[in-house]
Amino acid sequence: MKTLLNKAVFLLSIVLIFTACDDREYTMINSNANATVSLSTNSVVLTEETAADEALTVSWTEPDFGFSNAPTYRILFDIAGGDFAEAQTIPAGSDLFMTFTGSELNSRLLNLELEPDVEATIDIVVESRLSSSSVVTSTPVSLTVTPYSTVLDLSTTWGVVGSATPNGWDGPDVPFYQTGTDGVYVAYTTLIDGLIKFRENNDWALNYGDNGADGTLEEGGADIEVTAGTYKIEFNINDLTYTIEPYSWGIVGSAAPNGWDGPDVEFEYDPSSDQWRALVTLTDGEIKIRQNNDWAVNYGDDGADGTLELNGSNIVVSAGNYLVTFNEKDLTYTIEAIDFWGIVGSAAPNGWDGPDAELKLDYASDGAVWYNNSVDLVDGLIKFRSNNAWDVNYGDDGADGSLELNGADIEVTAGNYAVTINLEELTYSLTQN
């Protein structure tokens, strides 16, 4: 009996000790806490002409968690009825509203793969976050939207020609594209040691050089000497001046082919969207986007939300073939899994075993058109296949320019060819240069 009494006293002492020591106050989160979301409009039609205007303001109330708090917020866009698993996510900090310009909203809608110039409905929610494990999501509100196409026509009649350019003095010239300033054009190109000039319509009737090597142009002036490198060339036809500066964007990282030391996988300028694009095979790992193969200017993604920050966090990726798009103006990016296409066969440079002669993506075609303007073929046979494998391959059963899955080999004669395939129409062309 005495032993049982001693045990009871001992246990009671433990309870009293812990009760005395633990004087913390516990606050329960209000399970009904939530934000009420409102929109500045229920319907918006976006156009290129109003891209810089304010198009939508998303506002919300501060949730009552039942105690003093400082939540942060995120806005999520998804197609109507979606589960928000692949939503567009926009950090909003601690503010209770966010305003989107037409361009910003349009970019998010196109990333949801909404069709341009077609009315659609999206759902919008706001996440209120106290921590990664304390998140409440608002009731969805709907918005009727009509996005616009970002396929642009930035073409001009002007170009860069010369021994330093990829096509030499005979052209075709490296094209100049329009900028946001009338009469100021830009070209992005890789040059070798040599000479260049600027001319109109791939013709010598009107051309400019620089007699004094002083950045001022004269009609019919002297050739401009350049050294090898990748450059941004700006040509101001208003005051006949120009600048040439080293300029490139690339992908670097443990997941990139050349690791963190580079050289980087270079982006290619896409004038149809005024963005930068790269087709790249990545491994499991991390990447960043940087300028001129150097760390002075580099971007990562602190929120893993498709928005870039200077010196931001590494971007985690999984192994695969990707189309990476970088928007230099609004600092956004996308990484989309994609099948690469190429030419294989006895007439192709590496035979039936490959690797295949690579085709490039026509960025304005929404993934349908692939091409290579200069492929050396010998007498023999070819087919088109994806990802250097036979899982998906096309031939031509009727030798009529139409493609069939697992179709017949295509016979070619020796020569240098411009090759195009259209995966939407299932057609192809072989034009000897």
> 231: which residues sit within 8 A by CB, 6+ positions away?
188, 189, 190, 191, 244, 245, 246, 247
DSSP annotation string for 66-130: SS----EEEEEEEETT--STT-EEEEEET-SEEEEEHHHHHHHHHHTTPPTTS-EEEEEEEEEEE
Per-residue pLDDT of the chain (433 residues), as tens digits, is 344 334 433 333 433 333 344 444 434 455 567 889 999 999 999 998 898 899 999 999 988 776 667 788 899 999 999 999 889 988 888 899 999 999 899 989 988 989 999 999 999 999 988 776 678 899 999 999 999 988 889 999 999 999 999 999 999 999 999 998 999 999 999 999 999 999 999 999 999 999 999 999 999 999 999 999 999 999 999 999 999 999 999 999 999 999 999 999 999 999 999 999 999 999 999 999 999 999 999 999 999 989 999 999 999 999 999 999 999 998 999 999 999 999 999 999 999 999 999 999 999 888 899 999 999 999 999 999 999 999 999 999 999 999 999 999 999 999 999 999 999 899 999 999 9
> At 430, which amino acid appears?
L
Q: Quick one: 161 and 196 in the same domain?
A: yes
Q: Name residue 101's beta-bridge partners.
A: 54
- Give me the pLDDT at residue 150, please: 82
Domain span holding position 365: 341-432
- In the chain, the amino acid numbered 277 is R
Residue 185 near residue 235, CB atoms below 8 Å: yes
Do 228 and 197 form a contact (C-beta atoms < 8 A)?
no
Residues 6+ apart with CB under 8 A from 403: 384, 394, 395, 396, 421, 426, 427, 428
pLDDT of residue 223: 98
Evaluate whether residue 5 is within a structural domain.
Answer: no
Instruction: Report the alpha-carbon distance of residue 419 to residue 433 in Å, rounded.
Output: 10
Q: Which residue has the tokens 């070619």?
A: 412
What is the maximal distance between C-alpha atoms in the chain?
Answer: 117
* Domain final position from 280, 314, 337: 337
The pairs formed by 213-220 with CB atoms below 8 angstroms and a separation of 24 or more are: 215/241, 215/242, 215/243, 216/240, 216/241, 217/241, 217/242
pLDDT at residue number 32: 65
In a domain, 140, yes or no: yes
Measured torsion, CA atoms of residues 389, 395, 401, 403, in degrees rounded to the nearest 10: -70
CATH of the domain at 54: 2.60.40.10
Domain shared by 424 and 346, yes or no: yes
Per the structure, the count of domains in the chain is 4
355/326 same-domain check = no
At 129-175, the pLDDT tens digits run 877 667 889 999 999 999 998 888 999 999 999 999 999 999 999 99
The helix/strand/coil state of 55 is strand
Q: Return the number of other C-beta atoms located less than 10 Å from residue 398's C-beta.
A: 9
pLDDT, residue 68, reads 62
- Looking at residue 133, its pLDDT comes to 63
Neighbouring residues of 128: CB distance < 8 A, sequence distance ≥ 6: 33, 34, 35, 63, 71, 72, 73, 135, 136, 137, 138
As a whole number of angstroms, the distance between CA 328 and CA 316 comes to 20
Q: Is residue 56 included in any domain, yes or no?
A: yes
Q: Is residue 276 within 8 Å of 292, Cβ to Cβ?
A: no
Write down which residue in 146, 181, 216 finishes a domain. 146
Q: Which of 221, 246, 271 is the last residue of a domain?
A: 246
Residue 55 resides in a domain: yes
Kindly state whether residues 186 and 214 are assigned to the same domain. Answer: yes
Q: Are 65 and 30 in contact (CB under 8 A)?
A: yes
CATH code at position 220: 2.60.40.3620
Exposure class string for 412-423: b at 16+ Cβ within 10 A, else e:
beeeebebbbbb
Rounded to 5 degrees, φ, ψ at 129 are -120, 120
CA 399 to each of CA 194, 383, 402, 405: distance values in angstroms, whole numbers, following the listed order:
44, 12, 7, 14
For the full predicted model, state whether its pTM sits above 0.85.
no
